[in-house]
Amino acid sequence: MPIRLIERRPDVSPDRLLSECVPPPRFEPVRFGTYRPDPAEPSQATALAVLRERGTTLAKPRQERTWWRRKAAEQPGKAGVYLDGGFGVGKTHLLASLWHEASGPKMYCTFVELTNLVGALGMRRAVEALTPYRLICIDEFELDDPGDTVLISRLLGQLVEAGVQLAATSNTLPDRLGEGRFQATDFLREIQGLAARFDVLRIDGQDYRHRGLPNAPTPLTDAEVERLAAGRDGASCDHFVDLHRHLAELHPSKFGALLDGVTAVGLQDIREIDDENVALRLVVLADRMYDRDIPLLASGVPLDRMFDERMLKGGYRKKYLRALSRLIALARAGMGQDGRHGDEEERE
């Protein structure tokens, strides 16, 4: 009998949320030594050298934090580094490598995970929990929600004052490759008072994989999804509408726990989405599934038609494209096809 995700209501402690803030499994083995700069793009070698230097400093044992030491440390360098560039140039590879190089305590999360953490803990408790960290790495810093950006700017401002080092990457749309400097300008404007604390490193280069979405596999039937899920230990099976209604009742910080022990996710009767709230919750679920390499068994509309055309042209477009790329990869994995290379972030 398949698991029903709609019957789960996980309770997630703050300690668990913080313990899960590490690079996803696909970036566990990466290091600076495994990054291969393109000889035709010198900015890649420059970024590697700068981050190696920061990593060397952060690998040293941490000195006691005093007001004098904190002020002295602020003078020669800046508290943050921002990697700006398009898809497939290795920003996430470099960010994860910096995290691996640094001594702890340290934290690695996406921008969405950080906003979810603040939402779950509240600003005061989040500041208290994160102040002891030496380094916080934020992947996919998103600029499409001014409210979230200002919230995180407030948080990071307080952490920088406490001596926390920061590193972040951008999330530039595929059709904006070459316009990364605008992305950097947006970032510096949105983080307001923090801007002077960041060094911006532009990483140029072509995406070493395809651009755009891979082809979505042919959907299964509802009966096939049920049958395949029933034949896999630990697989779940839910109707699409039932699941997205259930997600509306859970805080997004609990979506990872919702998938505990799940070996495959079956979704029956996927329909085109025209509701932004529903879509954004499914984006978070797709991210948590992808982090855990959980295959997808899907029926209904093809995955590349899950978000309507209006939404794919709107302000959250990059989130939807990322989710589609990931879900298509997971669906191919679920059907025994090679679908693990469709995401824009993976860098060997």
What are the b/e assignments for 178-213, b being 16+ CB within 10 Å?
eebeebbebbbebbeebbebbebbbbbbeeeeeeee
> In whole angstroms, what is the distance from residue 305 CA to residue 185 CA?
33
How many residues can be counted in the chain? 348
Q: Which pTM was predicted? A: 0.76
Q: For residue 168, what is the enclosing H or E element?
A: strand 165-169
pLDDT tens by residue, the chain, 348 residues: 899 999 999 998 888 889 989 998 888 999 999 999 989 999 999 999 999 999 999 998 776 655 544 554 444 457 889 898 776 688 999 999 999 999 989 999 988 889 889 988 999 999 999 999 999 999 988 766 667 777 888 898 899 999 999 999 876 543 343 344 445 566 666 666 666 777 888 888 765 444 455 688 999 999 999 999 999 999 999 999 999 999 999 999 899 999 999 999 999 999 999 999 999 999 999 999 998 899 999 999 999 999 998 988 887 887 888 899 889 999 999 988 543 333 344 443
Residues 97, 35 contacting (CB under 8 angstroms) = yes
The domain ranges of the chain are: 31-203, 211-334
Instruction: Give the contacts of 163 (CB within 8 A, at least 6 positions apart).
Output: 65, 70, 73
Please state, as a whole number, how many other Cβ atoms lie within 10 Å of the Cβ of residue 257: 18
Phi, psi (deg, nearest 5) at residue 121 = -95, -30
Arch. (CATH architecture) of 31-203: 3-Layer(aba) Sandwich (3.40)
Q: 105 preceded by cis ω (within 30°)?
A: yes
